[in-house]
Amino acid sequence: MEITNIQTTPFDDQRPGTSGLRKKVKVFQQPHYLENFVQSIFSALEGFQGKTLVVGGDGRYYNREALQVILKMAAANGFGKVLVGCGALLSTPAASCVIRKYHAFGGIILSASHNPGGPNADFGIKYNTGNGGPAPEKITDAIYNLSLEISEYHTLETADINLDLIGEQMIGDMHVEIINPVSDYADLMESIFDFNAMRTLLSSGDFTMRFDAMNAITGPYAYEILVQRLGAAEGTVLRGEPLADFGGAHPDPNLKHAEELVASMNGGNAANFGAASDGDGDRNMILGYDFYVSPSDSLAVLADNATLVPGYAQGLTGVARSMPTSQAVDRVADELGIECYETPTGWKFFGNLLDAGKITLCGEESFGTGSDHVREKDGLWAVLFWLNILAVRKQSVADIVYEHWRKYGRDVYTRHDYEAVSVEGANALMEQLRAHSSELIEQKFDEYEVEHCDDFRYTDPIDHSVSSHQGIRILFTSSARIIYRLSGTGTDGATLRVYIEQPENNSEKLDWDPQDSLAKLIALSSAIADIEKHTGRKKPDVIT
């Protein structure tokens, strides 16, 4: 079977963001568009001939068609073997698990994470390296530069293979092994957590839980682990069948897009524990009875209770959080006498710290939490971590969090998202902040005095690479913070994210609603950045 070299011309919009390349499905369906990017990935790599590649995705629209293209191109470019999740499925954390378990050269994950799916919605593709984590900037930069110069790509002219039959097939000289997409990941979870304790809790008759898979990839994983292995009742997993358009819903596990789950956690028939994950399985939302746990607080609670979990019984080497994530975990790190690293947003920045053994747990405020078990954030892992803690402590979610706040104080926190705003307006807002950041220092706004203002710049402590322009920080003398950042995960216009945080140690105010507690800072954040002027929005689209 001969390799076919297809002539092509570059596209100028294939720069990967924080989580790969994300565009509308119709953009990827353009002739040569997907192929150009895949060839640019392969051309940016060295030494993969004869090695193993892992491929899978979140099951969204165009997932299966794209995977067939990738397989033929992988064969033409010289890979020796590809491991593929049956049905073209692999959650993002499961893909990382498989890459690491089978010592693959790397992997390609087809996902746009928490973005909507369907023929008129979003698609995405990213490359993960042999450690199981997202490619670092030096590789994504190389991919982008090659995409601007590409003149041909390599493929095999052959029939599509059967993606639904577990076992081995061939494409040219390349072996393709279709694997169970769930079993390796489920086995890994069983090696980390106390399944006996969780099984006892779920069978006690006094404890119920609901897990909303949001018509996305974690449905089969949650069913296998929660129902089949842990004995949770049938019906525990809601919306558990992965659908190409996520059932027309938005697969983002937050208070807005998982509102049915949130509503079900209140009232007489509410469960004790609620959780949700997103489109590709790497995000999580944690709920108790009439109680929401912010992702920042969740990371801090997990760190504080890590030794209750068998996989972390020896303690933590360190922790890390993205810069916009609240400082709650910093206080736990201080108490434990371990290092807390502050990184830019993007899971790839945790990879070097994990590989070097500097940290055990890490997390982002955007509903992502993880550890050294894989090199991606992991939604279902976080849910099982909480379930393990609940099984050992035998307290409610709310009681555990309130106890944590009484010990450490509460970092009252909120994130305001302005979605699909004008790119020009969003960029102008950020440039205005950069231009006037030095002027803000020592300014007073009622009781808030600015102590420091900068555009966050990160020097990786392992490889010493530098990442600039990672978000505008306004730090106040009271330890309150306002942070402005443009997200790289959307496909429509720009997404402005504003993060507002204020420490609270008054025990009588620990249960106040963050929007009330932070009302002055919220108003100040809008005024300082002229948000309405630059975006045309009087209020955010999503508040978490």
Helix ranges restricted to H, 267-327: 295-304
Beta-carbon contacts of residue 500 (< 8 Å; ≥ 6 apart): 413, 414, 415, 416, 480, 481, 482, 518, 521, 522, 525
Q: Is 113 a catalytic residue?
A: yes
- Run of H or E residues at 140: helix 137-147
Helix axes 397-408, 295-304, angle to 10 degrees: 80
Residue 269 CB neighbours (<10 A): 8
Residue 532 CB neighbours (<10 A): 13
CA–CA separation, 351 vs 139, rounded Å? Answer: 14
Residue ranges of the chain whose pLDDT lies below 50: none
| Residue-level length of the chain | 544
Q: Phi/psi at 408 (nearest 5 deg)?
A: -110, -10
**Tokens (6 digits) for 97:** 């698990």
Helix ranges restricted to H, 289-446: 295-304, 328-336, 348-355, 379-393, 397-408, 423-440
CA–CA separation, 133 vs 348, rounded Å? Answer: 6
Beta bridge partners of residue 502, listed in sequence order: 412
**Of 189, 216, 244, nearest in space to 62 by CA:** 244
Q: Please, what is the Cα angle at 99 between 95 and 101, to 5 degrees?
A: 110
**Tokens (6 digits) for 210:** 């609901």
What local confidence, expressed as pLDDT, does residue 544 receive? 83
**Of 81, 31, 16, 12, nearest in space to 51 by CA:** 81
CA–CA separation, 251 vs 257, rounded Å? Answer: 7
Residue 400's SS3 state is helix
Given 113, 326, 517, 526, which residue is catalytic? Answer: 113
Residue 187 CB neighbours (<10 A): 12
Ordered domains of the chain (ranges, CATH): 3-181 (3.40.120.10), 185-408 (3.40.120.10), 410-543 (3.30.310.50)
Q: Phi/psi at 504 (nearest 5 deg)?
A: -140, 120
What pLDDT digit, counting tens, does each position of 165-206 carry? Answer: 999 999 999 999 999 999 999 999 999 999 999 999 999 989
What local confidence, expressed as pLDDT, does residue 508 receive? 83
